[in-house]
Structure 1
Amino acid sequence: MKRPWTLPILLVLWGLVVAAGLFREGGSATGVAVVAVFVLLAALNSPLVFPSSISDSEARRRSETDGRPIVYWRPGCAYCLRLRMRLGRATRRFHWVDIWRDPDGAAAVRAVNDGDETVPTVIVAGRPYVNPDPAWVREQVFPSD
């Protein structure tokens, strides 16, 4: 549970250290801006940006029932963040599995990636796609007519 928060906490701490140096030199406005940027980066790399994660078994069960894709992700992954941001509100139409919280999800990703935990890995109709184009992923949920 602590692992997903490691990067966001480090970003905030680094921001505070850099800002403290700027405050000592009299750059209070710059220091505030630096803290704001690091807090924003921490928020974007935290589990808060992503929909609630479910277990791998629950995601597979739900996907079989409703046909929605499964997205395996982890906090701190820039490609996962890019996918999440480009999907916008459509993120609720996917089943999200945080591989740092679910060992079965991590094992599922390793099984399709030659032992690597490469994310995002998206499962559409039982077929895995590693780091797919966000537009293509969106198309899987909202096919154009």
Structure 2
Amino acid sequence: MVRRWGLSIGLLVVAGLAFVFSSLVTGVVFVVLAALTSPRAFPRSISDAAARELSAQDGKPIVYWRPGCPFCLRLRARVGRFARRAHWVDIWADPDGAASVRAVTGGDETVPTVVHRGEGFVNPAPARVLEMLRA
């Protein structure tokens, strides 16, 4: 749990220090960064097993991500409201999800990794994921 929230907590500590020793604007910037990098900025994560089962039924892509990942944050921001059309798996919360990512990427845990219709995409372009979600 600490691993998932560590970056956000650290940014909040820096924000507090900025409020005390620096400026209001700097503190607000760090609070916003803490919110963006927190697990709450993403749709609710489910387990890898549940995602695979649901994806087999409804054909929606599975997005493997982790908190604090700037590329995951970029993907989440670019897909916007369509994010709920995918199944999101936090690899730090689900070891089976991390294993699935390692299987797709050849042994490392590069995220975001998207699996759609049995095909894996490592750090795909947000436009490509958006096409998958709109289909």
**Equivalent position amino acid for 1:54 in 2:** I
Tell me, in whole angstroms, the C-alpha distance in 1 between the residues paired with 2:82 and 2:25. Answer: 32
User: What is the match of residue 95 of structure 1?
Assistant: 87
Structure 2 residues without counterparts, runs of 5 or longer = none
**Aligned with residue 40 of structure 1, among 32, 39, 45:** 32
Matched, 1:20 2:4: no
Return the index of the structure with the highest Cα Rg: 1
Matched, 1:6 2:6: yes
Structure 1 residues without counterparts, runs of 5 or longer = 23-30
**Per the alignment, in what secondary structure is the counterpart of residue 3 of structure 1?**
helix
Structure 1's consecutive aligned runs of 4 or more residues displaced over 3 angstroms after TM superposition are: none
Tell me, in whole angstroms, the C-alpha distance in 2 between the residues paired with 1:92 and 1:141. Answer: 9
Instruction: Report how many aligned residue pairs link the two structures.
Output: 135
Which TM-score applies when normalising by structure 1?
0.90
Tell me, in whole angstroms, the C-alpha distance in 2 between the residues paired with 1:113 and 1:80. Answer: 16
**Per the alignment, in what secondary structure is the counterpart of residue 51 of structure 1?**
coil
> Aligned-residue CA RMSD in angstroms?
0.9
User: What is the match of residue 69 of structure 2?
Assistant: 77
Which TM-score applies when normalising by structure 2?
0.96
- Of all paired residues, the percent bearing the same amino acid is 57
Matched, 1:106 2:106: no
Give matches, 1:101-140, under 5 Å: 101-140=93-132
8 Å CA contact retained: 2:18, 2:24: no
Q: Once the two structures are superposed, what CA deviation does each residue of 1:62-94 show, in whole Å capped at 9, x if it has no partner?
A: 000000000000000000000000001000000
